[in-house]
Amino acid sequence: MKDFDFCVWITMPHSQPDDFNLIKQIKDKVVMTDPRASPSLRSETVEDLAEKLRGYLREKRCLIVFDDVRELKFWKTIQYAIPLHRVIITTQNANFPNHIGSDTSVEVHKLEPLSLQDALKLFHQKVKQLQFPELSHLSKEFMEKCNGVPLAIVALSSLLSTKKSAIEWKRVLHNLGSLLQSNTDLELVQQVMLLSYRDLPSHLKQCFLYFGLFPEGYSISCMRLIRLWVAEGFLKADTGDKSMEEFGDEYLDELICRGLVHISRVDFDGRPKSCHVYNFMHMIIARICEEQVFCHVMDDIRTPPNSNMDFIRRRLSIIKKKNYANMERAENWEKVRSCFVFDDAKKWQVNNHFFSSFEFLIRLDLSDASLCIDVLPQQVGNLLNMKYLSLRNTNIKSLPKSIGNLVNLQTLDLKQTKVHEVEIKKLVKLRHLLAYYVNNQNSDLDRLEGLRLSKGIQNLESLQKLSFLEATDSIINGLEKLTKLRKLGIIKLEEQHGETLCKAIEGMINLCSLSIGALGKQGMLKLQSLRNPPLSLKRLYLNGRLGTLPQDPLPYLKDLPELLYLELYDTYKGVELHFNNGWLKLKVLCLGLLPNLKTIKIDKGQVPCLEVLKIGRCHGMITVPRDIQNLKHLQKLYLYDMHEIFIGSLTDKQNGDYMIISKIPLVEYSKIDHFATFHDTDS
């Protein structure tokens, strides 16, 4: 894999999407893996999108894997969009290679079952209890039943890794019985996975079945999933030591450890950022959901066009609206408590009639939906049971004042919308208030726009996450009541806000993420009063000049014991930053718009865990800081908009700067900040 800039894995759904959505899915995966691609890969037509994608990938060393391809027309769709000499396709259709043109060189590899020896080796890698002789003996019996199928072995080993005694292993062996006498490898794997599901405790079964609400192959943000579990009441109530969200983390970890859920993306701190279930597991979940009347999914398979809609269940997922002639005539929408919309190909009429139909709705997720309106109707305020409302990445610009009637609301997600004002005074049960919009027409310091709240912030004492707010005197004064916050993002701060803000932050003992931005280029962050910052702080983003601090701000930050991520943008006018004692866990360091900075000093043995360093718009720096070679675990160096002398030194192999960076696995430079990590830890 070291020969490629990045690798992309795409699991194909059983019913192949149309050409545009297939190419768009490839584009989305590329952007997810390589964020620098996003500005250049926006298009409205399939031809234009395919042309842009091919042009971008032609310049990159990218490996793309398409897993479980079933439709023969797939090849015709992709053959122009991507460079085909860097494609791997897995398929159960032995005739697939025959449908590829003779002008394309194809190597076919038929995967044979693992030998018993290799099967045992794979099994032993996954199961840690084999130091007990009796368990080691049983492992051979299990492997003989798996017929050398790797997925069955991995699934079975995940199940057995939760069993600690020979009695439990024998019980699993007995329960397998004739289940593994299947006709195909896929059926064998499905039977093992079904046994794994049946082995789950009841509280995990309902959490696991929730994946049935999402489209096949869908990768969901772990935080979004957990917030939905909270709104469903699936999780333990808050205790003195743990929040519901922390219990949700534990539940998800357990599903991952059992091999039922798989990680799609990992955050820099090693925590899963998004997750998914395999297609064959999704089929099992769909069948169980149907049997247990857990949810109803509207797509072309499970709800054919023009079918009777009078059997709608409490949880409704609309994956395709196409051809549903009877949809608006259904008479029992009032049964629905959860509604998800995943079809972005059709415009949705989210009007007063829509909300009147869903009178008892508790959870509404319209993330990424294409809506016919930009103002949410007044009728939404009548959904008094509502606990979860997501309008993320829609064209909604305004909410009615009636939104303030939703007194049971726990999550309000307005990220990537243009909503600026929310009536919050009565929303005392809110746990997550998430909003921002990036306005690229503004200057760097003012690109981020947040909520402008008039009053009532002090009433929201249950808040866990609050970002982003635009600072006002009343907002700053109300923050001291929000002692349960774990994430705070606040922008457009003025100098007079400093002391009150610092006092409020010191009371947030569980705060893990803090993002602070000043008001424009003349704004100043007066944080000298922050003498006892929360020791739980893992992420710190400072955007704007730090007032009245010493020349080098680092001594005031180095002793945060859990700090993993630090971003300093336009915070400092000095010529040198010095990293000495401290910084024991820091993994990511981003330095931007520090115009006078000439060098970075890093003492030997300091910042021992740093893996990613980003430097941009530091035009006073004309040579690579020599102390970078003291960072023994540095994996990535991102540079953007640096002095031309600095960039020239990187390409001269006789130059000492080249020798310094040549040992770093990944070094990349761009004229603009395509490597932006941004303050969004909640994607």
Least confident piece of the model among 114-128, 329-343, 561-575, 636-650: 329-343
Which of 142, 132, 205, 151 lies closest to 172, judged by CA? 142
Confidence class of residue 538 from pLDDT cuts 50, 70 and 90?
very high
pLDDT in the model for residue 550: 46
Cβ atoms of residues 515 and 679 within 8 Å? yes
Average pLDDT, stretch 652-657? Answer: 76
Joined together, the tokens standing for residue 201 give 């405790």
Q: For residue 142, is the peptide bond before it cis, meaning its omega torsion is within 30 degrees of 0?
A: no
pLDDT in the model for residue 203: 93
Report the relative pairing of strands 432-438 and 448-449 from DSSP bridges.
antiparallel
CA–CA dist 80, 74 (Å, integer): 11
Cα 454–457–460 angle (5° rounding)?
A: 150
Which of 679, 120, 91 lies closest to 438, judged by CA? 679
pLDDT in the model for residue 300: 62
Cβ atoms of residues 384 and 408 within 8 Å? yes
Confidence class of residue 312 from pLDDT cuts 50, 70 and 90?
low
Confidence class of residue 326 from pLDDT cuts 50, 70 and 90?
very low
Confidence class of residue 477 from pLDDT cuts 50, 70 and 90?
very high
pLDDT in the model for residue 337: 93
Confidence class of residue 183 from pLDDT cuts 50, 70 and 90?
low
Confidence class of residue 58 from pLDDT cuts 50, 70 and 90?
confident
Q: Give yes or no for residue 325 having a pLDDT over 50.
A: no
CATH architecture of structural domain 202-285: Orthogonal Bundle (1.10)
Least confident piece of the model among 350-364, 493-507, 570-584: 350-364
Same fold across 6-99 and 202-285: no
Which residues lie closer than 8 Å to 126 by C-beta, 6 or more apart? 153, 154, 157, 158, 161
pLDDT in the model for residue 39: 44
Least confident piece of the model among 90-99, 380-389, 568-577: 90-99
pLDDT in the model for residue 324: 45
Mean of per-residue pLDDT scores for the chain:
83
CA–CA dist 467, 482 (Å, integer): 13
Q: Give yes or no for residue 228 having a pLDDT over 90.
A: yes
The 3-state DSSP class for residue 438 equals: strand
Q: Give yes or no for residue 42 having a pLDDT over 60.
A: no
pLDDT in the model for residue 129: 60
Which residues lie closer than 8 Å to 441 by C-beta, 6 or more apart? none
* Torsion angle in degrees (nearest 10) through CA of 543, 547, 550, 555: -40
Which of 539, 447, 529 lies closest to 486, judged by CA? 539
pLDDT in the model for residue 332: 62
pLDDT in the model for residue 482: 96
- Percentage, residues of the chain above pLDDT 70: 85
CA–CA dist 172, 309 (Å, integer): 41
Confidence class of residue 678 from pLDDT cuts 50, 70 and 90?
very low
Residue 150's CB is within 10 A of a number of other CB atoms, namely 16
Joined together, the tokens standing for residue 350 give 């989210």
CA–CA dist 20, 184 (Å, integer): 33
Residue 433 has φ and ψ, to the nearest 5°, of: -120, 105
CATH code for residues 6-99:
3.40.50.300
Confidence class of residue 36 from pLDDT cuts 50, 70 and 90?
low
Domains of the chain by residue range: 6-99, 116-198, 202-285, 560-683
Question: Among 82-96, 111-125, 356-370, 587-601, which range has the highest average pLDDT?
Answer: 587-601
- What's the Cα-to-Cα distance from 285 to each of 15, 185, 189, rounded to whole Å? 17, 18, 14
